[in-house]
Amino acid sequence: MKKTIFTGAGVAIVTPFDKDGNVNFKKLGEIIDHQIDNGTDAIIICGTTGEGCTLSNEEHIETVKFCVEYTNHRIPVIAGTGSNDTAYGIKLSNEVEKFGVDGLLMVTPYYNKTSQEGLIRHYEYTAENVSAPIVLYNVPSRTGVNILPETYYELSKNKKIVGIKEANADISALAKTIALCGDDLAVYSGNDDEVTAFMSLGGKGVISVLSNICPRVAHDIPASYLAGDYKKSAALQLEWLDLCNALFSDVNPIPIKEAMNMMGWDVGECRMPLAPMNAAKKEKLRQILEKHGLVK
């Protein structure tokens, strides 16, 4: 059985930008403190929600460095370092490992559309050349590549590969993956609307977008299940389902940044090519935030 980096809710944290479009480190520190104060179990920095794909190499490294140093071992920090270029992903991973990250979140290679054998070769070669534990990230709606259960099984044999963030919305495949891999892979939901379902099959928690604005709720859904209060976990999942869905009514992280700005966090806009929400979607999001008492 491998060591689990965290159980519960890890926040897929946004990267705040100032009015000039630069990383706002002061605001990032405030968000980190708010997350830790409200029960978040881990921070995932520079992932999809953190707009790692539009950060320059220097910004990416500096943002991870700041997060690790500011968090100061209060909770684990996992850095997004995946790439469609195996060599670059390793190089970036080695850079952020210098700061003491607790893990690496590595998305499947995108655009190249490698085969399952290519995925195995990519991740095994990466594991040979990094020191931190790896969490695989499967999000075929964005990458065009899907990791199959049998591929997870092969990769679970590698001691460096300890977990998966699964966002393919396929519960049947999830069940097969957990049946094959058992305790050799910690499984985290990559979708906030599926957390209780994941937990019921043996999942360890969630890497959450919702947590950016509702860290206590995001924490309590898996925590309740882990504590044996399955009904509470399910009730919370259903109570907040409309907001989970609203946060994906446009391309992530557009809605979550919009929601944070409505709530007064002033995290700036997403970098291009992502565009602001249209007026109708924005108003619907505002109404749902108001329903839950998050805005007036």
pLDDT digits (tens, 9 = 90+) for 270-291: 999 999 999 999 999 999 999 9
Model pLDDT, residue 101:
98
**Cα–Cα distance for residue pair 296/289, rounded to 1 Å:** 8
Task: Using pLDDT thresholds of 50, 70 and 90, give the confidence band for residue 81.
Answer: very high
What's the predicted TM-score (pTM) here? Answer: 0.97
Q: For residue 186, what are the β-bridge partners? A: 163
pLDDT tens-place string over residues 91-114: 999 999 999 999 999 999 999 999
Cα separation, 70 vs 152, in Å, equals: 33
From residue 82, how far is each of 70, 125, 171, 203, 288 by CA, in Å? Answer: 23, 13, 24, 22, 33
In the prediction, which pLDDT does 68 show? 98
Q: Which among 65, 123, 137, 257 is annotated as catalytic?
A: 137
Read off the tokens for 57.
């190499």
Please give the average per-residue pLDDT across 51-77, as a whole number.
Answer: 98
Q: What is the pLDDT of residue 2?
A: 86
| Predicted local distance difference test score (pLDDT) of residue 61 | 98
Give SS3 for 78: strand
176-217 confidence digits (pLDDT tens): 999 999 999 999 999 999 999 999 999 999 999 999 999 999
Beta strands, E only, 60-202:
77-80, 103-107, 134-138, 161-166, 186-189
Active site residue 225: no
Domains of the chain: 8-229 (3.20.20.70)
Mean of all residue pLDDT scores within the chain: 97
241-271: pLDDT as tens digits: 999 999 999 999 999 999 999 999 999 999 9
Q: Which of 248, 183, 185, 195 minimizes the C-alpha distance to 220? A: 195
What value does the mean pLDDT take over residues 22-35? 98
Q: Are 108 and 80 in contact (CB under 8 A)?
A: no
- Active-site choice (165, 204, 257, 282): 165
**Residues across the chain:** 296
CA distances from 232 to 38, 132, 205 (A): 18, 35, 15
